[in-house]
A and B are shown apart, each in its own frame.
Chain A
Amino acid sequence: RHASSFTPSPAAMQPTSLEQVQATAEPNPLKTCENLSSMNTFLMPLEEEEAKDSFDVDVAVTNPEKVGDGMNAYVAYKVSTRTSLPMFRSKVFSVRRRFSDFLGLYEKLSVKQSLHGCIIPPPPEKSVVGMTKVKVGMDDPSSVEFVERRRAALERYLQRVVSHPSLLQDPDVREFLEREDLPRAVNTQALSGAGFLKMINKASDAVNKMTIKMNESDTWFEDKFQEVENEEQQLRKLHVVVDSLVNHRKELCGNTAVFAKSLAMLGNSEDNTALSRALSQLAEVEDKMEQLHQEQAASDFFIFAELLGDYIRLLGAVRGCFDQRMRAWQRWQEAQSTLQKKREAEAKLLWANKPDKLQQAKEEITEWEARVTQYERDFDRIGMTVRKEVLRFESFYLLLTLIVFQLIKFWEAFLPEAKAIA
């Protein structure tokens, strides 16, 4: 049970209501969010606000079903799309996809699009442990929770992909959403969470080993890169602690329930009836507290932890983006130095008077001049895209604000109940 739209508690004597604040704030982070998917709208491009509101494309991931038996079993999800865009075959359609299909999509996209410096939303992590349990049986609560977390994460992932204007145009994305039988993706081992990080870090190492250091006339990039790295570090720390809190709250729930039962037993054996009644009442109170704790553990920090995890992965992708730009610069520089060498060669040939070789040299020069121009344009384009993408992530703080408001809203609803118990 979640509290519905935010209302200031009756005891609070605030002159402004939240609705009034909402009207003045921009962009609009203070919309009431009921669930993870709505919160996810945060990590989508800002300029897509209108697109989001008009729902050009709306995707959902639902109905997880176990297919097959034993260790070859897998979970298939229903991917449903609702769209008004003409490039799709119909307005409403759905297909069945498995987890490796999502990873395969990411692989295809990252090969192509990362060259353009835009940030490919990373997929959720592979989990051997979680999946093995599910393969054995989908009935126990931890498996159910694992599948649900994965389903929600896959949905958020797809929503981010389709909200990106250039990715939506990509034929691989359309194929993923529309095609009935998708060829199985291979080589998805590299794309587990750890594999993804390794990829990013390898790229960073390559950049660090570059002998030609870029001379940044524009310090914006250097500063932003530093910021992104710091943010990622801080958030990782925060994520670890929030995860720990979620687990401890779960533990607390379990222990409180067990204790309540024990206290009830004690009340039963106490032969002084007033005390016996009091102990039973205390047991009941403890039980109610446990239920409340459970709700807390399930909703507030769990949402925080999941979104924080998503965000950290995205920050990793941002870092990768910066590296792409560096590589584009390197390519440009190398092309320039190759062009220089070709020109020197041409000069030598002119002097040596070898007309046919000279013709070839001139052709090569023209070719390399074109390349230099191309690579310079690529570099500038990537630079602009990186700037744009990074600005998106500054909306993170607004996201955090939203999460905190959500938490506070929840606590406000929780406390009167605790009071009623006491």
Chain B
Amino acid sequence: SAVLNVDLQTDAMLQVDISDALSERDKVKFTVHTKSTLPNFKQNEFSVVRQHEEFIWLHDSFVENEEYAGYIIPPAPPRPDFDASREKLQKLGEGEGSMTKEEFTKMKQELEAEYLAIFKKTVAMHEVFLCRVAAHPVLRKDLNFHVFLEYNQDLSVRGKNKKEKLEDFFKNVVKSADGVLVAGVKDVDDFFEHEKTFLLEYHNRVKDASAKSDRMIRSHKNAADDINRIASSLYTLGTQDSTDLCKFFLKVSELFEKTRKIEARIAADEDLKLADLLKYYLRESQAAKDLLYRRSRALVDYENANKALDKARAKNRDVLQAETSQQLCCHKFEKISESAKQELIDFKTRRVAAFRKNLVELAELELKHAKGNLQLLQGCLGILKGNT
């Protein structure tokens, strides 16, 4: 048909990224930059400013759209959370009197670096969400998405009020209750049965691995902090005098400082390559589970419609109505099944590729750090031995 031809012809470019971000006291403003050859946009390149709530609005509009029931909705980015970091900076400010100037400057630099890292992460996660939508053959055409990208005024999407939040809560409760019922039903289709078993197990294990990787990385950061304080202490001891031994202390303090930097970087890399990866796939596997849930719901509706039709035929009443209803349910179910199959296959491909990329990068980084650490120690040892 004509519509299909247009789609095939316009393998149009749609490139979205977050070109800038501004952190204000209690919100972050993202500059969403779009480059596109799609005809429905007024220009080929343009930018708008969006806040977190507007991303959530877009995500929810996908979830609530019946047309998209058969797709894995890209998971919403988590809310930017600077509370912990801000609290630490505040505590540092309060404790300024009780530490030396060097200690204060060093800790301030540390905390600022941490703040910056969190900021970069939240930008990345919002960007990934938009890129996933832009890459999806159907979702990229969504009208709300285009409005999100192009409309250069405030979208005026306030956060959900209490009533709406309560409604959401109950919806989720119903869904999980249903989910249990649905999970219990064995699917006729082998592919989906296998996917269901796999996803349930995978999701739980990813959740577990994610929580444990967070704990491990936090311990690593704590150890790096301690080494930092040891370095400061040794530095103070070393500056008390100018004897050879004090000079030695200063060198040792430097060694600890460098070791700490390496340990901190290792922790940061693990965080980025492993922890973030696990967190993202936790959310994506949940989205995939939601898809399976929607399909199961559609199947249940279809089966109920079948039963209703049989009853109607038996009683010879409202048969046409029942037939139409049954046909609709059948159509909906088959449509979801078809797209779900493709979506789940794509999910696996994406997942394997992402894990492979991140694990390889992580291994390379750890190797680089280990080499760096070895070189550092050899160098320092040389200097220290030379000194005695």
Contact = CB atoms under 8 A, between A and B. Distances in A.
Interface of A: 9, 11-12, 14, 16, 18, 21, 25, 30, 230, 234, 237-238, 241-242, 244-245, 248-249, 251-252, 255-256, 258-259, 262-263, 265-266, 269-272, 274-275, 278-279, 282, 397-398, 400-401, 404-405, 408, 411-412, 415-416, 418-419, 422
A275 B351 CA distance: 10
Interface in B336-388: 348, 352, 355-356, 359, 363, 366-367, 370-371, 373-374, 377-378, 380-382, 384-386, 388
A255 B219 contact: yes
A408 B381 contact: yes
A373 to B, nearest CB: 40
A213 B356 CA distance: 76
Given A16-B385, A21-B388, A251-B222, 13 more contacts: A241-B233, A248-B222, A252-B223, A255-B216, A265-B205, A266-B208, A275-B352, A278-B355, A278-B359, A279-B359, A405-B384, A408-B381, A412-B378
A234 B215 contact: no
B157 to A, nearest CB: 37
23 contacts: A12-B382, A21-B385, A234-B233, A234-B237, A238-B234, A241-B229, A241-B230, A248-B226, A251-B219, A252-B219, A255-B218, A256-B216, A259-B213, A259-B216, A266-B202, A266-B206, A278-B355, A282-B359, A397-B248, A404-B384, A405-B384, A408-B377, A422-B367
A379 B209 CA distance: 68
Contacts of B298: none
B227 interface: yes
Contact of B212 (A11, A244, A262, A416): A262
A259 B374 contact: no
Contacts of A408: 377, 380-381, 384
B198 interface: yes
B373 A415 contact: yes
B252 interface: yes
Given A245-B226, A408-B380, A397 B245 contact: yes
Interface of B: 198, 201-202, 205-206, 208-209, 212-213, 215-216, 218-220, 222-223, 226-227, 229-230, 233-234, 236-237, 240, 245, 248-249, 252, 348, 352, 355-356, 359, 363, 366-367, 370-371, 373-374, 377-378, 380-382, 384-386, 388
Given A241-B229, A248-B223, A270-B202, A259 B245 contact: no
A398 B215 CA distance: 38
B236 A234 contact: yes
A412 B233 contact: no
B216 A269 contact: no
Contacts of A278: 355-356, 359
Nearest to B199: A269
Contacts of B252: 404
Contacts of A401: 245, 248, 388
Nearest to A272: B352
Contacts of B220: 252
B320 to A, nearest CB: 46
A259 B388 contact: no
A9 B202 CA distance: 45
B227 to A, nearest CB: 7
